[in-house]
Amino acid sequence: MSENNGETVAEPVLVTRDGHVAILTLNRPDRRNAINRAMRKGIKRELWRLDADDDVRVVVITGAGTAFSGGVDLPEALRGPAPRTEGTTPTQVLRAIGKPVIAAINGPCYTGAFELAVNCSFIIASERAVFADTHASIGLLNGWGGSAMLPRMVGLPAAIQIILSGEPIDAARALRIGLANEVVPHDQLMRRTLAIAELIAAAHPGAVRRMLRLLKEGAGASVAHALGLEAEAGASWRPDGSDVGDRYGSKRPVERTSDA
């Protein structure tokens, strides 16, 4: 909690831990977790901190209350500088960090929050999740990577329909088009998301980071280029033989230097 003009104000971003998994919660439930300046700064700060913490292997992002987030806090944005003028965006940080980030979508996920979600590693959705990108509908453009990331998730024709129409997408359709990896009963959302996160956290942390980087780099490349990236990664990856096959090993493979 913090104080503002003598009043106690809840932190806009909360971080809790479950073993090697960090849970980042958007925490403005009375405003449907609208993303204001304080929340944007908090998301960026916490993501960088968690990426630097070797004890954290996976991050989960979700929302407090009944919504994931209704998007950027437009009343605040209209009173001050536009979010895209504030330097690095939360989604640029999401794309830059080296650890998997799972979006656990617990309810409505609109516009800026939709862009936040599609920049995560993947999405697990509650049956109550609803997605929409209303930028074009209200006369705005994507600024947090939605136009680049969404076509890679659902294909170009589906992305064009979603972004230009602003039509809400329920959880069943999100699953069908590949926007969400899984849809689960609402009361099982965090249990299932944490179960997946724990499986990833139990894997070799060095290999997870390197494979995540390889998958990101190869996603938009040709098959030939992606295979080249894989070969290059394999050439620079030197596992400790005693560590191979040990899911919980503390030893980590090292990457060869140019003179190794």
From its phi and psi, is residue 120 left (phi > 0), alpha (psi between -120 and 50) or beta?
beta
Q: With bands split at pLDDT 50, 70 and 90, how would you rate the model's confidence at 97? A: very high
Percent of the chain with pLDDT over 90: 74
pLDDT score of 8: 55
**Each residue of 64-75: pLDDT tens digit?**
999 999 999 988
pLDDT score of 251: 45
pLDDT score of 30: 97
Measured between alpha carbons, how far is 65 from 165 in angstroms, rounded to an integer? 27
Taken in order of first residue, the domains within the chain and their CATH numbers are 2-202 (3.90.226.10), 205-255 (no CATH)
pLDDT score of 255: 45
Residue 106 near residue 126 (C-beta atoms within 8 A): yes
Average pLDDT over residues 194-201: 98
Q: What is the pTM of this model?
A: 0.89
Measured between alpha carbons, how far is 118 from 26 in angstroms, rounded to an integer? 16
Least confident piece of the model among 4-13, 143-152, 160-169, 231-240:
4-13
Q: Which has the higher per-residue pLDDT, 107 or 4?
A: 107
Instruction: Spell out the residues 6+ positions from residue 184 whose beta carbon is closer than 8 angstroms to its own.
Output: 124, 125, 126, 127, 192
pLDDT score of 256: 41
**Each residue of 108-166: pLDDT tens digit?**
999 999 999 999 999 999 999 999 999 999 999 999 999 999 999 999 999 999 999 99
Tokens representing residue 202 in the block: 């139990």
Q: Which has the higher per-residue pLDDT, 229 or 187?
A: 187
- Has residue 170 got a pLDDT over 70? yes
Measured between alpha carbons, how far is 89 from 44 in angstroms, rounded to an integer? 8
Q: Which has the higher per-residue pLDDT, 187 or 247?
A: 187
Q: Exposed e or buried b for every residue in 43-74, given b needs 16+ CB within 10 A?
A: bbebbeebbeeeebbbbbbbbbbebbbbbbbb
- Has residue 7 got a pLDDT over 60? no
Average pLDDT over residues 14-23: 98
Query: How many C-beta atoms lie closer than 10 Å to residue 193's C-beta?
Result: 27
